[in-house]
Structure 1
């Protein structure tokens, strides 16, 4: 039992590592087995080739390239007589081997007899042919038959090249199976054998060992189930800044080369003209550190020859890979390293420790990642292809899993709290010493309250399910706008929202962020109404009031039940200010205005005397905010349009949600989609709520439309000269601008028709 208990405690102590390392290892190995990492690892192998130190050019090989200038001078294809002349000049310098990487299977040319004679008298000449086989079938090309005279002498080699899935040439062929069941040697191997025949001091056993390396297997390196027909190997490309020594065909024909340039070397003749399209992608082409785009086919075969000779004569390594179980152990080891690194340094007790942890963890990650890179890179220089991408994924992935596990564990309590409180409040409760204590402290906050205008009237006429649907759309959109400016939602009150800026976290720009949030909320109402219209729900409008002052903020309640809240007369004052707003309007107190005076844009101010306040206060109508916020509200009303004939209306005054019994007569003189100018003989104070009744008759005295509009008096108008003349003839002498707060749909359509220019 004691052993079992100790084992259980150990597993719990190292649970993060026990979860992360095996999990990511199995995942990475699984991805490796299905080939999902093949393209990444091959790309990294290419990059390692390009980053290797430059090597001296292989002086044993010279290429005679047929370039664009040669084609213009001699035409293409070159005739047999010219080729005979070229080959004769080459063999006069007594090279060890001549490789003819040109198709030459026609025997009906005028110069062929001389060429055939040269073929038969040049025992160190190898001709090229290409045959279809399973290995290269994914890049199908027509077969190229060998020169008949060289085929009879068995002086031919296959120029088939093996393409990977991305089109690059990483694999070479020593031999391949021919359609007739025989085995054909590759072009590069034939040339290498001719060269090695001239090496007298190399033991035959070493030559045989070098020419018969381990065959590439289907899953070697990071390959996945590739076709490994024939005898394939990974080409150890020589990265030489000068490349192989190359001369033009014209220079050889004109005798412009050194008389002993080809002596005792391998001479390879092939096409280097881009227009003939004998060009391929190799690991050295493209990518970081590369200065070339494509490699000619003859140079690819030169790389294969150089690979064989360098391995045999110079001890240059071939590219090998581990057995799969060693690769799996390698991957698990790096998963273990990544998870241990994060798990060991998970506990900190102070701010200084957190900083030190961040620095040390960053340094350790860089050191270990650098070690992984260096080990794989250095290993390649010694001929070992060690998986880099799977190990890197295991290393980083295990660290991410441990970090995620710690974050999930730490966030469980936060998640429960966040269902009922905002993130800022939860952070205050959980991450400060006094966070869970009852009580509060005095602090300066900016309070924002928003409310839907006329929503009670809308909700009375709709099923409860539709009302909830409207509220969910409204509250969800507003929550996003508030979160953008780091506001703390204290509570939802029906269709109203109470938002705090400065509690629980105080910032110098609380007032500015509150106003910016309010403008963003009003701008977001457009998207709210678009969603409502799509769902055939009525449009809504919102008013916002903002106030700044000292309140008591903290945990209020009892030990059994408490909530984070703010208490004080400034909360009530905010609600009063909000009650003066109309849809689309933002009103702020003078205290808030002083905080943002330099960047605030207003439509003016007014004096009001809210209930419970001993003296009048100034409130400001916000239309925009400059500075870093650069926010602007559209105008609440379009330009008023003068009606051809004033429309008689009646109205009643609303006081404290109660509708007055006295009915007043007036005339509607100017109209916009958002408000109207009415002419009244009554002294109606600014911010008074009205209920307008319209009865509109057509020319035939038939009732055209009837309805009621809720509105608020925003200002007393300065009448135009035309209006003054009409007013002078009427007992309605006081132009008043009212803003519509609730308009029935039938009247909305009528107003739209009347105000459309």
Structure 2
């Protein structure tokens, strides 16, 4: 067996190390695991959505081409003169600080009919002086692109455009803005993402505008969610900035971008951008984690038609940064994000600009991979080499501690340090390795269960053996002293029953009583000590500690009484005598263990507390009740309602005790029973104060209400006796019983 255990341990360590190594290779980008990547994305989205601030940034306003604007101003695209008028209104009337367009104007606007008028002026009407004079006068107003360009000129306006990562039929449309820098000057060796074509704005518009930035995102995860966006892209050896970055630099008067790098595997890799002293953390491809403030609506939205008509309060736009973008459903400018599955694309750029202004962009620095590898190694070492030496309880505590530390550390790095770390890999490792410990520990637990079954299986129910096998408690057959509860039951009138039944019927009767009674004791996790003729002796609290031993004993006693009531019908049908049972229960310190002789030994309990339990069972017949428990048992099982029976001295003990009859759980007692208990308490108080008339009245009322209850007749007889034979001056109201 020892050899087998060594091999089990070897396979356990080998399997755990294999899982750990696989996860390390994955986070080092050496072994892709799509399922783990998907889990990481889910946890990332959950963490992000639960930690967003969900507050409105008052510095940035979105002027939306929404359904109301389309209904009022006509379908999109609008004529460029109307867009130019929108720009004029924003700057001249509302006094905004900066304007950005989340859209591209790549095709000439001829919606005014200017091409037709040009053809007529060149051909059919070239000799019509009146037409030519009118046309030349109107021509500046009909050149919508020129009107729009004029509105852009000498104003802080950033246009939008996009790159394409597929080879288009017409690879270069429009005019790119000035690049940020040449890639030849970059201080790092890794290459940024390189698109294959672009669609930019008309040259006259781009020349008139202050700048432009791209707004497309090539970094869409496999599940279609936008979690990252590049701030820089490389095209034909030149570096171009995103719309949000162009807006940010425009606010700072276009300072140069400085690049911070770090050494990794002998290469310089991009770490962050520095703009006018502000650090913007990026990854090696100049991409940032999208810094969402919350769900849609973290920026003030104003309908474009309200701006065109001048119906917006000036205070809402004055000195604001404005982004113009489409939010109408038909224009399809929405994205799937971690915070919302349908999210306006224009608000993504607003989020980035807001985070750059607040310097709250999260990062995943290059060094973090090394720390994550260390984390996985430490978790692996702890579970592989420490957990096998811990008990099941401490192992579970250790598991929860590592789990809590991993989750807390991940959230702390995110919220307090602004650093993104993996969570799925350590959780998968933790659950996998802990599961392996449990799996291999099953074989050892099976051996433990067999050992416990060999020691205690003949005394206790299989359910308790199963519970003991899972417990960390050390079990032994050696004698020890502990607080427990003992149970004695006895079939009433069994001697007379045995005289009227043949041996076979007598065995059947006893079996019919003991089988369900034993089952109920086992259900309450009791240990059968022995069967003594027509009596059952059982106890709770050993071999396994049970803080509810008193409650369990009363629970089983009440269940047995209920069972006997149902059993009477079966006995009557079979022609057997009606049976009854008395039960005594006591709680106290007892000696428990294997006791006997070299010829015969039994796992049993002994002591004064055990003897008192037997005496209480004997008193049940005298008081006309089925169950009597001691005051110590009542004290440890307060969830039950009790009827106080008496204060007694039993044979062999000088110290008086109070005895009770359990009636059931407190919340199952009827109002009538509660009233009767209160009346009994008052009667007993009057009785012990020797207030005989008051006590007589109360007990007489109770006896009238419950004519078959023997207890009240007992007290009425005692009172009658004491009225004739007054007790001694030191009488304490205690009844002394001299028989067993």
TM-score tier (shorter): 0.3 to 0.5
Give the TM-score normalised by structure 1.
0.46
Q: Whose helix fraction is larger, Structure 1's or Structure 2's?
A: 2
Give the TM-score normalised by structure 2.
0.47
